[in-house]
Amino acid sequence: VRHYHGFDPDLFAAETAPRESGAPLILSVGRLRNKKGHDTLIEACAALRQRGVVFRCQIVGYGPEEARLKAMIAVRGLDAEISLLGKLPHAEIVPLMAGASVFALPCRIDEDGDRDGVPNVILEAMASGLPVVATDVSGVPEAVRHEMTGLLVKPDDSAALANAIARIFADPRASAQMGQRGRELVRAQFSRDVAAPPLIADLRAHSKRGPVEVAYIVKGFPRLSESFITNEILILEGNGLPMRIFALKPGERIARNVIANMRTPLDTLPCLTSLSDTKLSKWLLENVSQFSVPLARLILKRPRALLRTAAEAIAMMRRYRGANGAPRKVFIKEFLQAAYIADALIAAGGARHLHGHFCHGATTVTSFVSRITGIPFSFTAHAKDIYQAELNPGDLLTRKLDAARFVVTCTDANCRHLVHQFGALAAHRVRTIYHGLDISRFHPRSTPANDGAVRVLSVGRHVEKKGFATLIRACDLLRRQGLAITCEIVGEAGEETASLEGLIATLGLGDLVRLTPPEPQTALAETYARATIFALPCVILDNGDRDGIPNVLAEAMATGLPIVTTPVSGIPEIVEDGINGIFVPPNDEAALAEAIKRVAADSELRARLGESARRTIIEKFDSSKTTMELQKLFAAAPERVAAE
C-alpha cells in the first residue's frame, strides 16, 4: 500500500512579493550524501559560470560528502558563487526558499541501490512556489511533473542540469507558472490533510496496538545541565513517539524556552519539604496529604501491588542504611512519588513502558512505579550515579539492572565499568548510546577577529570534576609568559564557586578570567563563536565522580572550535589527541598552559583541529541518529510484566 508522507504546506507560504534583485539564487537542501547528487550540481554551476550566467548557489546540509564537495568548489574556483551552509533549523530554511529562484536536487541511485523516494524538501520547495529542477529517479517524477511543476533531467548529467537551470532563469513567467502548479499539486496530493486519513484508516484496520507510549521519569525538567534529556525527548516526540514526562521537582526557569513548543505532557510532582535532619514521622505529617488521593485510589485499584511496594520501600530503608547506620528515609519519599505517578498512569491509560534518567533517585522511583503498575521499565545511567557507591548502596544497582528490560549508558567507558562490576548481568542488559547533539543549533564559526587576543572558553557547573581550578592556574602561567589571554567560564554556581572566585582574586586575574552565569543553548552558540579555544580539563575525583562525555565538549566541537581537554572517562571516545583536539594530563596546569599556547600560536593547527572536530560530531554524535537507537529499544520492549 502506498501512502505519501504528507506535510503542512501552509508552513511554506508562496512568494507573493518579487524575489530579491541581483543574482538569482539556486537552492538545494539535503544530507551531503552521494545519492543527493550535489557534485552534479557543482559541475552544473561551473558550466553556468563558463557561459557567463550570473547566479548564487546555496547548499544546506551536512554529511560524509562535505569535505569532497568543499574541495570541488575550491578546485573549480566557485567559492564566490557556491556556499555550503551546513545543517540549518527548519525555521531558517523557509525564508531561504522564499528568496530562491529555483530549487535543484539532482538525485541519483547509489551503486548499492540506495535512493530517495519523494524527498520532502522537494515538496517543501514546491509548497513555497519554487520551480524545481530534479532527476527522473525513484519517486521524484510523482511530484515533479516535467514541464508542469518543474524540469527533469537524467542523473549525473551536469550539462542538462545547467541547461534546465538556465532555462528557469531566462523565463520568469514560465517559472512562476511552474511554481504555482507545483504548489497546487502538493496541496492536492501531498498535504497531511489528504495523506493522513487513508493511513490512519489502514493502521486502524491492520494494527492491534499503536506505538509504545513511554513515560519518562526525571529528577527535574528542564535543566540546562541536562539539555541532552530535553533534546532526546524532543527528537523522540518529532519521530512520533507518544510520551509523558514526570518531573520529581520543577525545572529551571532559564531552560524553559527550549520546551516552549514541546507537545509532550509534562507533570511536575508536588513540592516536598526537605527530609534532611527531619524525623520521618514529622516529614510524613507535613507532606503525605499531597499523596492521600492517589494512595486511596491505588488501594482500590492495585491493593496488593501497592502494599507490597510499600513493604519493599520500608525494607530498603533498613537494608541500605546510611553511613551513620540510620535508616535511609529517602525510599519512603520515593515510594510516595511513585504512587503519585502510578495513579496518574493508571487513570490515563496508554503507557506501555517507563524510562528513568540517572540510575539512582529517579530510577528508584521508576522501579517502584513498575512494581505498582506492572509496566516494564528501563533507565539511562550517566556519570556520578554509576561511580558513587553511596547513591546506589549495597546491591541496589544490581537489583535495578536485574529488574530493567534494558539499560542505556552514554559512553563505552561507562559500559565497560558496569560489565566489570556486574559481569554477565550488565553485559546482557547495558547498551551504549551516545547522547548526541542537535547539530542544527551549532554552526561552523566564521573567522574570529584577528586582534591578537586569545579567548579561552570553558562551560560547566562549578564542580571539582570540571577542573576549572587547573584552568585558572594555567591562565596565570600564560599571563606570566606574556600571552594576551582572556578566559570565560560559563556555568551554574556550585560547591566550587567560592573557591574559584577566591583563586581568581588571589592570583590577581580579575581582569582576565570571568565566571559568567549559565546560558541556554541558543545563547551558548554565540558564545562559542567568539572563542579561540575551548578548554575543559576534567578530572576523576577520589569518590569516583566524573563526567562521561561532557555535552559542552560536543557542542564546542560542532562549532569547529579547537579543543584542549583531558583523556578521562568517555572523553577519548569523542576526542583523538592531535586529530580533533589536544590531550593534557589531569591536574597539570603547566601542560594545559603549554597546550593552549601551542594552539593559540598556530592558526593552521586551530583550523585543522576545528574542522576535524566538527566532522567527528556530524559522523558520530548526530542526535537524530543516536536517539533512533533508543527508540528501537523502546519499540522492542515487552508491553507489560505482572504487577507485584
Domains, the chain, ordered by start: 9-197 (3.40.50.2000), 213-271+338-436 (3.40.50.2000), 441-621 (3.40.50.2000)
Give yes or no for residue 18 having a pLDDT over 80: no
| 175, three cell numbers | 517559472
Q: What is the pLDDT of residues 449-490, one digit of tens each?
A: 556 789 999 999 999 999 999 999 999 999 999 999 999 999
For the chain, give the mean pLDDT.
Answer: 89
Give yes or no for residue 397 having a pLDDT over 80: yes
Half-sphere exposure of 455 (CA within 13 A, CB side): 13
* Predicted local distance difference test score (pLDDT) of residue 189: 81
| 127, three cell numbers | 509548497
Average pLDDT over residues 262-290: 91
* pTM, 2 dp: 0.62
Cell 596565570, located at residue: 476
The mean-pLDDT minimum among 169-173, 191-195, 322-326 falls in 191-195
Helix (H) or strand (E) holding 43: helix 38-50
* Predicted local distance difference test score (pLDDT) of residue 13: 60
Q: What is the pLDDT of residues 32-84, one digit of tens each?
A: 999 999 999 999 999 999 999 999 999 999 999 999 999 999 999 999 999 99
CB 457 within 8 A of CB 556: yes
- CA distance to 228, 253, 258, 348, per residue, from 527 (Å): 19, 20, 17, 43
| 2, three cell numbers | 502506498
Q: What is the pLDDT of residues 514-538, one digit of tens each?
A: 999 998 877 888 899 899 999 999 9
Q: What is the pLDDT of residues 103-153, one digit of tens each?
A: 999 999 988 788 888 888 999 999 999 999 999 998 899 889 999 999 999
Portion of the chain with pLDDT greater than 70, in percent = 91
* 611 vs 609: CA distance, rounded Å: 6
* Predicted local distance difference test score (pLDDT) of residue 1: 44
Average pLDDT over residues 250-272: 85
* Predicted local distance difference test score (pLDDT) of residue 290: 94
Average pLDDT over residues 226-254: 90
Half-sphere exposure of 252 (CA within 13 A, CB side): 13
* 281 vs 257: CA distance, rounded Å: 39
Under the banding of pLDDT at 50, 70 and 90, the label for residue 7 is low
| The 3-state secondary structure of 290-357, one letter per residue | HHHHHHHHHHHHCHHHHHHHHHHHHHHHHHCCCCCCCCCCHHHHHHHHHHHHHHHHHHHCCEEEEEEE
* CA of residue 643 relative to chain centroid, distance: 34
Report the SS3 class of residue 148.
coil
The DSSP bridge pattern shows strands 563-565 and 533-536 to be parallel
The DSSP bridge pattern shows strands 102-105 and 82-86 to be unpaired
Q: What is the pLDDT of residues 413-448, one digit of tens each?
A: 999 999 999 999 999 999 999 988 888 778 776 655
Q: What is the pLDDT of residues 552-611, one digit of tens each?
A: 999 999 999 999 999 999 999 999 999 999 999 999 999 999 999 999 999 999 999 999
